[in-house]
A and B are shown apart, each in its own frame.
Chain A
Amino acid sequence: MNLSSNVPEKNASGVLGSSYSRRHRLLRWPIFSLVVLFVMICLAVFAPIIVPHDENLGFLEDRHQPPVLFGGTSNHILGTDSLGRDVFSRVVYGARISMLSALTALVIGGAIGTALGIFAGYMGGWVDELIMRLVDVKFSIPLILIAFAMVVIFSPSFGLLLGLLTMFVWGQFTRQVRAEVLVIKTTDYVAAARTWGASPAQIMYRHIFPGVISTVLMIATFQSGAVILAEATLSFLGAGVPPPSPSWGAMIADGRLYLDTAWWVSLAPGIAMGLFIAAITLLGDWLRDYWDPKLRQL
């Protein structure tokens, strides 16, 4: 499946719409997103202080204890998993690992993708052609399958997983940024910089890059959900975050056998993940409308 909603290049416009102020006034603060994200980020940051138990160590005797409201004890408020580990502690640490891996992939992938996009857009010619064909290849192959194959070939590790997740995201940045650069390139201030004798590198860095930052941030927001989802899919195929480290995706996958008997093992991280991705997607929607309603195609 196409994990990321496809971004057609056409609607990228650096020019703010005339209705900017009207929509701006209409926007309400995305309370839901902010609250959910704030709580989750707090959990992730303060995980070591918050968790009541070691997230990777359990006692087999405590296996599959239900959550507190379903007959469990307050010792394990979200119950325990099949190795007797505390599900709450793992969900909290899972927030950390899932967010960190998404963040890393987005920072690296975003940097590479943006650089390529600026380069392709500004240089044009065969450079542009080459980079855009690379992007086409990226979009045309079933990435989950390739990623799974890579994990089978090289043994799975956290580093490899991050590399693969990076592979998922860069193309989106390149496409969108390039389209935007094509517009910025024609603006007066770039032309002016050129006549003053600025080098291409300077122009790209000083004059073009600032113009695409808001777009890059928005793509990053939308892609973070897709990255976490991709990690979950890879976990199902046995190619996600290596155990025992908890990630939401890995926990959902590990607990799926017990959905009928010990549902909390899979459901708790599933809800956490659903909430997080929903919150960040809605935040992305809001950001886009706030910054630039013309970019709604993201």
Chain B
Amino acid sequence: MNFLARRVMTGALTLLGVTFLVFGLSRIQGDPRSILISDDASFDQWQEMGKQLGLDQPVYKQYQIYVVNLIQGELGTSTLQKKPVAGILLERGRNSALLAVTAFSLTILVGVPLGVLSAVKTGGIYDYAIRMFAVLGQALPSYWVGLLLILIFAVGLDWLPASRMSDWTSLVLPTLAIGWLGVSGQIRIIRSSMLDALDSEYVQLARAKGVAERTIIWKHVLRNAIVSPVTFASLTFASMLTGSIVVETVFAWPGLGLLSVNALNNSDYPILQGVILLAALIYVLFSFVTDVVYMMIDPRIRIQ
């Protein structure tokens, strides 16, 4: 089968799997009425609500209706805000995207150079320091890092606002809290693919031929080592786009992450389903694009 067609199909299958999961999630919580109904409601109201929610239909029928609605772009209505889910996702998505773009830029701007430096100076003091920085970034919970950042830079030094979205200064702390994790991952992955490439036979060959070390690193090594870091970066960006649940909560950043925490605390399942589907969609799209780009670069992938 044609690589592209195959790739589109696997993506669609993945998304279908996700809808199944998401639908199941909204059903295993039991009768949605037990959450939605008010404390003083009577039995008649209970019945009435059941009819409104379509609970009198068999489950497979409910799923069918759900998927057909999804395909038509109908994500449902937030039970809490009584507004269409799609509109809410769009509004909040913009805020998360803003944060994702800054955090991703940090990941690239800091992660790539540090990763290269660390690989080139293997075993040295730079390598050691950079690796510690990267390892710590993956070892501390990001919400905790966020709180520490607030205490240091907002409360202690009073340089930056403690929370919420206002001007550009409000972007700094949440970007750092989210970005550290991304930077760490990027450093580690760049470093290891660079080392891989440095070890490879063609680099040894180039060395043997007397090619300058600088040329080797920038021309041969980085180019060959860039594949997995690009995958990593694009998928990291995809996951950032749907917001960091904990960091957005800590910084009261009105993005998708905070939205979903609120939705869960108030049992607003349509919103929750929407966020999960959106996240899956973005992920599938990004990995698709990444694969297609590789395919164009390296024809051998097509064979697989």
Contact = CB atoms under 8 A, between A and B. Distances in A.
Given A145-B275, A229-B139, A296-B192, A260 B231 contact: no
Given A1-B239, A278-B132, A153 B276 contact: no
User: Number of contact residues on B: which range applies?
Assistant: 35 or more
A230 B26 CA distance: 23
B240 A260 contact: no
Interface string A16-36: 011100010010000000000
A150 B272 CA distance: 12
Contact of A10 (B185, B228, B276, B283): B228
A68 to B, nearest CB: 23
Among B141, B196, B201, B235: residue with most chain A CB under 10 A: B141
Interface in A204-261: 225-226, 229, 232-233, 236-237, 249, 252, 256, 259-260
A145 B272 contact: yes
A122 B1 CA distance: 21
A146 B227 CA distance: 30
A215 to B, nearest CB: 15
Given A1-B181, A270-B140, A140 B135 contact: no
B292 to A, nearest CB: 15
Interface string A94-137: 00000000000000000000000000000000000100111011
B210 interface: no
A166 interface: no
Question: What is the interface of chain B mostly: helix, strand, loop, or mixed?
Answer: helix
A132 B304 CA distance: 14
Interface footprint category on A: 35 or more
Contact of A141 (B189, B265, B276): B276
Contacts, number: 169
A290 interface: no
Contacts of B29: 152-153
Contact of A233 (B25, B141, B280, B283): B141
B297 interface: no
Interface string B143-167: 1100110010001000000000000
A42 to B, nearest CB: 20
Interface of A: 1-2, 5-6, 8, 10-11, 17-19, 23, 26, 129, 132-134, 136-137, 139-142, 144-146, 148-150, 152-153, 225-226, 229, 232-233, 236-237, 249, 252, 256, 259-260, 266, 270, 273-278, 281-282, 285, 293-294, 296-298
Given A145-B264, A285-B131, A294-B196, 18 more contacts: A1-B239, A1-B240, A134-B17, A136-B284, A140-B18, A140-B279, A142-B245, A142-B279, A145-B245, A145-B275, A148-B264, A153-B25, A233-B143, A260-B151, A274-B139, A277-B139, A281-B139, A293-B199
Interface of B: 10, 13-15, 17-18, 21, 25, 28-30, 123, 131-132, 135-136, 138-144, 147-148, 151, 155, 178, 181, 185, 188-189, 192-193, 195-196, 199, 201, 227-228, 231-232, 235-236, 239-240, 242, 244-246, 249, 260-261, 264-265, 267, 272, 275-276, 279-280, 283-284
17 contacts: A2-B239, A5-B185, A18-B201, A132-B10, A137-B17, A142-B245, A144-B246, A145-B279, A152-B264, A152-B265, A153-B25, A249-B141, A256-B143, A293-B199, A297-B192, A297-B196, A298-B192
